[in-house]
Amino acid sequence: MSYTVAPVNSATYQVDLWGRFRALSRAAQYNAIAVRFDRDVVNLTTLVNVATAYFLVATDQERLRVARENLAASQRILDLIRQRFDAGTASALNVAQQESLVDMVRASIPPFDEAIRQNKATLALLIGRAPALTTIRGTPLYSIGIPQVNAGLPSELLRQRPDIREAEELLAMAGASVEAARAAFYPQIALTGQYGFTSAVLKNLFTPHQIFYQIAANLTQPLFDGFLLEGQLENAKGRQNELLNDYRKAIVSGFTDVERALVAVADTTETERLQRRVVASSQRAFDLSEAQLREGTIDLVTLLQTQQTLFTAQDLLVVDRLNRLDAILSLFQALGGGWLPAPPHTRPVAAPDGRTLDEVLLVPAPKASYAAASDGRTLDEVLLAPPPDASHVAAAQ
């Protein structure tokens, strides 16, 4: 009776003579960086949405405050008109008109309160918290600082945009993929090795003289592949052209977004400045009208029109302030996160030994002939050594 036990470990390697696997490795690394910039796009969009929701909360709170002040002012005017009506110097029509204005201002308050609650719920959702457990202490609208936009912003700021950086990395990935597809045309050398123990009796299983190993080298040349490799290369080139056009589109879109944002910042700033003048003029007219009403020397129709003009101008000023904040926020997003220097996480990625990603990728790969076996011999020495005794399988009688 004979027993044969052969635990064997085998491995197969391919020598990267033409840089195919190195190119595939670079393509995978570029794709990983592109995914990171895709994450930054989501982060930037979320940040802008949070800021927008916060600005809406502050705007609605300011509009609510203005509406309540206008309600108090219109109620004060109504009391004066009623006094004149009791004295016989005002008609019932004058009282009814003022009462209509007071009711109209009072009816505008609940929608503002509803908008505040809804925008707070939206803001709580964006920050990942339950609305009932979230307390938002809104800053007054006119206390929100607006950064100054200096003239002559460098166009290099567009490289902060994560969508442009993502398109750039995808284009680099496509270039590496084309290189790998081109290298696939060249011959491939496969190294196969086997190592293990054989014995006819279990007691001699792990003795040194029972160790065997085999190493073989195979050279394969792609022939008659049905134009598969040609198709893969053309596909890689087509993908590269597509990503090149996407990269160009991202750059043009970036310039367009910045230009539109700069126009919006300039126009909304001027609109708010002019609207402030309207509010100031309307406030002076209202104060004079109220003073003349106490003296009994004003037409009540003119007083009613003065109130309506002031209330409308004040509300429009709040809306113009929101539009200016939105324009600044659009410029912030168009420049990929502001017009300050790029944050550290957008700078070149460093390896543990301090080298950047480009330095790591440009280091030449070690030659296969310097690979060492477990006994210290190089791969060339292993391949040139005479084979071991082939009678490695023993039988026990």
Quote the strand ranges of the chain, DSSP E. 8-15, 188-197, 211-220
- Residue 3: inside a domain: no
Classify 365 as helix, strand or coil.
coil
Look at residue 155 in the predicted model and tell me its pLDDT. Answer: 74
Do 222 and 229 contact (CB within 8 A), yes or no? yes
Which of 180, 192, 186, 183 is closest to 220 using CA atoms? Answer: 186
Give the Cα separation of 239 and 31 in Å (integer): 14
pLDDT in tens, 341-364: 555 544 444 444 554 444 443 444
What's the average model confidence in pLDDT over 219-243? Answer: 77
Percentage of the chain lying above the pLDDT 90 cut: 30
Q: Is the pLDDT of residue 396 over 80?
A: no
Mean pLDDT, range 97-115, rounded to an integer: 93
In a domain, 326, yes or no: yes
**Is residue 195 a part of any domain in this protein?**
no
Q: pTM here?
A: 0.70
**Strand-pair category, 8-15 with 211-220:** unpaired
Nearby residues of 325 by Cβ (< 8 Å), 6 or more positions away: 55, 144, 146
pLDDT digits (tens, 9 = 90+) for 123-173: 999 888 888 888 877 678 888 888 887 766 777 778 888 888 888 999 999
In a domain, 373, yes or no: no
Measured distance CA(373)–CA(311) in Å, rounded? 88
Point out the least confidently predicted range of 79-93, 192-206, 311-325: 192-206
Is 385 part of a structural domain of the chain?
Answer: no
* Domain harbouring 179, CATH code: 1.20.1600.10
Is 105 exposed, middle or buried, given 0-12, 13-18 or 19+ CB atoms closer than 10 A? buried
Domain assignment present for residue 392? The answer is: no
pLDDT band at 337 (very low <50, low <70, confident <90, very high): confident
Mean pLDDT of the chain: 77
Asked whether residue 380 is domain-assigned, the answer is no
Domain coverage including residue 335? 8-187+222-365
- Please state the rounded mean pLDDT for residues 271-286: 94
How many domains is the chain built from?
Answer: 1
Contact 77, 294 (CB under 8 A): no
> Does residue 60 have a pLDDT over 80?
yes
Q: Which residue has the higher pLDDT, 334 or 354?
A: 334
Output 365 or 345, whichever has higher pLDDT. Answer: 345
Q: pLDDT value at position 299?
A: 80
Q: Kindly state whether residue 114 falls inside one of the protein's structural domains.
A: yes
Report which of residues 297 and 388 the model is more confident about: 297
